[in-house]
Amino acid sequence: MTSIPTLEDLEAAFDGDLSGKRILVRTDFNVPLDNGEIVDDFRIRAALPTIEWLTDRGATVVTASHLGRPKGAPNPEFSMDRVRARLAELAPGVELRENLRFDPGETGNSPEFVAELIDGVDGYVNDAFGASHRAHASIVGPPQHVPSAMGRLLQKEVEVLLGLRNKPKHPFVAVLGGAKISDKLGVIEALLETVDSIIIGGAMCFTFFAAQGKPIGNSLFEPDMVDTCADLLAKAESMGKTIHLPDDITGTDAAGNFAQFGSRLGEGSIGYDIGPGSAAAFTDVIMDARMVFWNGPMGMFEDERFASGTRTVAQAMAETKAFTVVGGGDSAAALAQFRLDDEVDHVSTGGGASLELLENGDLPGLVALRPSAS
């Protein structure tokens, strides 16, 4: 694997002098918004080390990001105004282009849009780890035309996540949650090669329950993934790995009232969280690990009645002596909600990107930065 140029390599490409150079920095400022207000500016703050490194050297920094999923046309709901205002507080004088996805050329990776992006630009830095699994114009285009490098955030993310993949410390435990097994299938198969055990929570556990022939009431599950889950359970067993499933569930009964169940749910009941027994068992596994990767909540934690499974796992992540890494998205949001985000070793800024990097060991955005790629 040819190595990826760093900011120092970029500086060297300009004979050690970046002053007056216009550098396009692709950031992932796709922050959660509520009524137009930024709920969490984690991704903006995460880009500051790279931005400041460049401005300290006299470069003019132009940042660019997508926000939400506008459909290739301007849409005021997804304007960068709020993000621009926050960036101006954190990094005065740094430009931010309008939402990249207002142009269909971004997701379509059109040469015309790449040309527009690099117009008047001397160099390019990718610090958008969270978007580096997308082969979009702003991620893969500029490195073919101007001297390019990875920013500090991208560099750290790659180091930590590839460290899990290539230099695991055992016991290595993956904690996976969320609603859909179909989103996680590839990463589960890849993780089975390196981990000792996988803890499964969130609604995806019901597809595994269905594969075991257990009744799940009206709980969310993926009917077309039941056979796949049965195969995964068999495969894990043949590899000597453990898949830990919850053996109690919290949810609502047929009358819609809060209820605790074992691992068989009666007609009309719905599971929304792992139960306290499972949370305690999962805590033990996490406490005994030397490395833990967590992606996806254990239940519907936005509802306080169904937050305790996710909170218990978050507390175990904070307390274990293991090296702890949390994938972006919902699990990062859960950690922040419980104010435990400073208690783990690494919180990734990327949800899909961290899973894809663990699965494939590479990302389109990284491939594009390698000198051999152009």
Q: Which residues are catalytic?
A: 43, 180, 329, 352
For ligand 3PG, the closer of residues 69 and 169 by Cβ is 69
**Site for ligand 3PG contains 30 (CB under 6 A):** yes
For ligand 3PG, the closer of residues 69 and 170 by Cβ is 69
Number of residues counted as binding ligand 3PG (CB under 6 A): 8
Report the Cα 164 to chain-centroid distance in Å. Answer: 15
Sorted by sequence, the CB contacts under 8 Å of residue 295 that are 6+ apart come out as 174, 175, 176, 177, 178, 184, 187, 326, 327, 329, 331, 351, 354, 355
Pattern 226-265, ligand 3PG, x by CB under 6 A = ----------------------------------------
Question: At its nearest, how many Å lie between ligand 3PG and the CB of residue 334?
Answer: 15
Question: At its nearest, how many Å lie between ligand 3PG and the CB of residue 28?
Answer: 5
**CA 199/CA 298 separation, integer angstroms:** 10
Q: Which of 21, 134, 311, 346 binds ligand 3PG (CB under 6 A)?
A: 134
Q: Which amino acid is at 160?
A: V
Strand-pair partners of 325: 293, 346
Nearest position to ligand 3PG, beta carbon = 30
Sorted by sequence, the CB contacts under 8 Å of residue 197 that are 6+ apart come out as 171, 173, 174, 241, 242, 243, 244, 285
For ligand 3PG, the closer of residues 156 and 290 by Cβ is 156
**Stretch near ligand 3PG under the rule CB under 6 A, chosen from 52-60, 75-83, 129-137, 158-166:** 129-137
Question: At its nearest, how many Å lie between ligand 3PG and the CB of residue 263?
Answer: 32
**Stretch near ligand 3PG under the rule CB under 6 A, chosen from 19-27, 126-134, 174-182, 228-236:** 126-134
Q: Mapping DSSP to helix (H, G, I), strand (E, B) and coil, where does residue 310 land?
A: helix
**CA 343/CA 14 separation, integer angstroms:** 39
DSSP class of 97: -
**Site for ligand 3PG contains 331 (CB under 6 A):** no
Q: Prior bond to 171 cis, omega within 30?
A: yes
Q: Which of 147, 271, 352, 365 binds ligand 3PG (CB under 6 A)?
A: 352
DSSP class of 20: T
Q: Which residues bind ligand 3PG (CB under 6 A)?
A: 28, 30, 69, 130-131, 134, 351-352
